[in-house]
Amino acid sequence: MIVARMHDSGGIENLRIEDIEEPEMVDEEILVKIRLAGLNPLDYNLIHGNVVYSVKPFPHIPGSEVIGEVISDGKVLKKGDRVMVYNRIFDGNCDLCLSGKENLCYNGGIWGVISNGGFTEKISIQEKNLIKIPEVISDELAVSTPIGALTAYHALKKANASAGKNILIYGGIWKH
């Protein structure tokens, strides 16, 4: 299986294209064939060593925005379903998870940072971290949802934006 894997942080020169064994499913995981992977500032900064998170494992496969096709049945998802990865790892048991704030889980983190990510051909991932993509949503739109679209959504929510209300978007691009 072909992957893009980091052997150190600090630059693109540490990212290598390699052939490794396919992932094995454990616990309540299902197998997903990757269709598209996005490259976002989180991945860029991870590869260049500019993150405050503890990256694991090493060597590490980055990629926190991916969509794919289920290739092994789960409890709800079935072979052939198009899915996006909900890239928050959470235990579902801590106070924050139980209050509906699983994105702040004490024992969690970002999938693709504290676990291998999606710059690969296949992943094995817990079914609770997969969201079925409706037929009306394209792969290209779906792949930008976990980080890009949610960032925009939270900005609009914080700005108290609503239909007919003017807002200022200051600095709409990211450049390093």
Coil/strand/helix, residue 75 = coil
Q: What is the pTM of this model?
A: 0.83
Q: What are phi and psi of 125, to 5 degrees?
A: -145, 150
Domain span at residue 101 reads: 2-158
Question: How does pLDDT run across 81-104, given as a tens digit for each residue?
Answer: 999 999 889 988 999 999 888 888
Query: Which position has the higher pLDDT, 157 or 74?
Result: 74
- Give dist(CA 109, CA 56) in Å, integer: 11
Relative to beta strand 122-126, strand 88-89 is: unpaired
Answer yes or no: is 16 within a domain. Answer: yes
Answer yes or no: is 166 within a domain. Answer: no
pLDDT above 60: residue 172: no
Answer yes or no: is 125 within a domain. Answer: yes
Answer yes or no: is 154 within a domain. Answer: yes
User: CATH code at 138?
Assistant: 3.90.180.10
CA–CA distance from 171 to each of 41, 44, 120, 174, 175 (Å)?
A: 15, 19, 32, 8, 10
pLDDT above 70: residue 133: yes
